[in-house]
Structures are given as structure tokens and as C-alpha cells.
Amino acid sequence: NLINKLMNVYENKLGNTLIEFLLTKKNVKIIGKKECKNKDRAPTISFIIKNKSSKEICDSLIRDNIGIRNGNFYAWRCLNALGIEQEDGVIRASIVHYNNINEVELLIKSLDKLI
């Protein structure tokens, strides 16, 4: 249906904007595919910043009024397999159709100061 297609295109744009930024940072590891396309990746982006605590990063972003979380998100076996400490876990940005590009750019601006 047309609405689902339009939402998918919009969500891909938002998700890919964040992913493209994260890919420019050598100390960032993105969990999962490196592009949102063809409905094969949701714009829920999980990542870690090497040698930095996910909680510390999220706490700083929250102080910038960005809704973001860290943790294992019930995927502790995956984190173990990836060698990621499950208590601190990953940083997860959930970007969907009710977000806008300005919010993604604010997240990128705040992350850029921390990475």
C-alpha cells in the first residue's frame, strides 16, 4: 500500500542519515546492516563507541533532551556472541516515521561532540 511505501522511504532516509554519520567515525561499531533499504533493516540503529561507556554516552545525550537508551534489549546472547558487555550494552536510537530530520541532525550534532 502507498502509505507503507512512503513511510518506508521516509524512515530509510532518517535511518541512513544517522548510519552515514556513524560510518565516518572509526571508533564506532554499528550492529547490523550498514544501510536501510528494501525493508531489510528497520531504522532502529544500535551501535557502540569503542573505549566509551554506552551508558555514559546515553546519559550525555539525554541531557541534550534526546530520547535514547542503552542496554542489552533482551539480546544478551547476541551481545555475548559479538563480544559486547551486556550490562552496558549498546546505544540504541529508534528512529521511525514520527521522527523528523531535525531530530536526527540534533542527535548527530550531539554525538559528534562525544565521539
Query: Tens digit of pLDDT for each residue in 1-38?
Result: 999 999 999 999 999 999 999 999 999 999 999 999 98
On the 0-12 / 13-18 / 19+ scale of CB atoms within 10 A, 74 is: exposed
Quote the mean pLDDT of the chain. 96
pTM as predicted: 0.94
